[in-house]
Amino acid sequence: MIPLPPPEILKMWQAIKSFDFDTTQGAFVGMDVRDKDLKKRMLESMKIQVRGEGWEKHEILDEMEPDV
Classify residue 63: in a domain, yes or no.
no
Classify residue 61: in a domain, yes or no.
no
Cα–Cα dist 50/41, whole Å:
14
Classify residue 7: in a domain, yes or no.
yes
Classify residue 50: in a domain, yes or no.
yes
Classify residue 9: in a domain, yes or no.
yes
Kindly report the pTM of this predicted structure: 0.86
Question: For all residues of the chain together, what is the average pLDDT?
Answer: 93
Classify residue 26: in a domain, yes or no.
no
Classify residue 1: in a domain, yes or no.
yes
Classify residue 5: in a domain, yes or no.
yes
For residue 3, pLDDT over 60 is answered with yes
DSSP for residue 33: E
User: What is the model's pLDDT at position 68?
Assistant: 52
User: How many folded domains does the chain comprise?
Assistant: 1
